[in-house]
A = this chain, B = another copy of it.
Amino acid sequence: MSTANDQSDAGPAPADPGAAMELLRDRVVRTPVLVDPALDELTGGQLFFKAEHLQRTGSFKFRGASFAVARLAEGVQGVATHSSGNHGAALAAAARARGLGAHVVMPENAVRTKVEAVREHGGIVHFCAPTQAAREAGLADRVAEGLVPIPPYDHDDIIAGQGTVGVELIDQVDRLDAIVAPIGGGGLLAGIARAVAESGRTIEVIGAEPAGADDAARSRAAGRRVDDHSPRTIADGLRALVGHRNLAILEARDVPILTVSEAAIRDAMVALWHRLKQVIEPSGAVAYAAVAAHPERFAGRRVAIVLSGGNLDVGALLHGLPSA
């Protein structure tokens, strides 16, 4: 099953990030932009951190989910999706706000607290094997039961909704030279690319991806979507295969993708936690990791970095605390 063709039944014609912003203004948090002189000094750039870990449900995913749910036709009986966690929690919260149920197909190796978050927001979890095929098959089963699929990224409304991160950034930071965002399925990055195009500004949009899940970089290099994909990264939110629509937008806007090592992701988390005092999940640290790994590319520039989420198993981490 390809989720790429399902959305024509799900609502009116595609919207752009600017229109999504109008609708979402009162529903999403206009997240703050954080700055830190020590991180500027470390990288040589002037960095603006977009704090999407402070978004409702703890990630940018709430934007796209809210927009997609808001645009559903009347009378749908419920929604369904597959997700490593953040889109699932976001969809559950957005659906509940409209009085709808949400079913979420999750890989059985999903972060435990992300499973709990889906349930906390009223979502019903269905586990599947941790492969793209199993996720899509699980979603197809739910759709066969009459639920409306809201795929996590390969969907125009999702892309437009996530693009509001870019709309806000352009409004919040003067004279931006570049925006760096992580890429898993590509909803956030494609949405930001569309928001920048819509604004008419000359801001470079750059993707950041774990080397252990480099399907987007390989797809851009090959000029077509690769299908061999065995992700191996701590960045659990970036393990999905880039979507068809998303890749087409990245191709059209010529968005480059930088890859980063697992060690660089960990170092980036440490730097962000230590300096900003913010809890950022591994996926949320990948864009900063790319900037830190390429100082020559960002030195002297005004660079926005999307901290995409802050959901991880804090209780497990704190077992590492020294005792009294």
* Residue ranges of A at the interface with B (Cβ–Cβ < 8 Å): 53-54, 58, 113, 212, 232-234, 262, 266, 269-270, 273-274, 277-280, 282, 310, 312, 314-324
**Judging by beta carbons under 8 Å apart, are B282 and A279 in contact?**
no
Contacts of A113 in B (CB 8 A): 274
**Judging by beta carbons under 8 Å apart, are A270 and B314 in contact?**
yes
Option from B277, B310, B317, B323 in Cβ contact (under 8 Å) with A318: B317
Option from B53, B316, B320, B322 in Cβ contact (under 8 Å) with A277: B53
Q: Which B-chain residue is minimally distant from A284 (CB atoms)?
A: B277
**Judging by beta carbons under 8 Å apart, are A212 and B324 in contact?**
yes
Can you spell out 22 A-B residue pairs with CB atoms less than 8 angstroms apart?
A54-B277, A58-B277, A262-B323, A266-B318, A269-B314, A269-B318, A273-B279, A273-B314, A277-B278, A277-B279, A277-B280, A278-B278, A278-B279, A279-B279, A312-B321, A316-B322, A317-B317, A317-B318, A317-B321, A318-B320, A319-B320, A320-B320
Contacts of A58 in B (CB 8 A): 277
Contacts of A312 in B (CB 8 A): 321
In angstroms, Cα B113 to Cα A54, docked, is: 26
In whole Å, how far is A64's beta carbon from the nearest beta carbon of chain B?
20
User: Which of A53, A54, A113, A270 counts the most chain B CB atoms within 10 A?
Assistant: A270
Q: Which B-chain residue is minimally distant from A274 (CB atoms)?
A: B314
In whole Å, how far is A271's beta carbon from the nearest beta carbon of chain B?
9
Contacts of A53 in B (CB 8 A): 277
Contacts of A317 in B (CB 8 A): 317-318, 320-321
In angstroms, Cα B278 to Cα A17, docked, is: 29
Given the known inter-chain contacts A269-B318, A317-B318, please indicate yes or no for A323 contacting B278, CB distance below 8 A. Answer: no
Q: Which B-chain residue is minimally distant from A120 (CB atoms)?
A: B38
Option from B54, B274, B282, B315 in Cβ contact (under 8 Å) with A321: B282
In angstroms, Cα B212 to Cα A121, docked, is: 37
In angstroms, Cα B282 to Cα A273, docked, is: 15
Q: Which 4 interchain pairs have the tightest Cβ spacing?
A: A320-B320, A277-B310, A273-B314, A277-B279
In angstroms, Cα B307 to Cα A278, docked, is: 13
In angstroms, Cα B262 to Cα A314, docked, is: 17
**Judging by beta carbons under 8 Å apart, are B279 and A324 in contact?**
no
Q: Which B-chain residue is minimally distant from A117 (CB atoms)?
A: B274
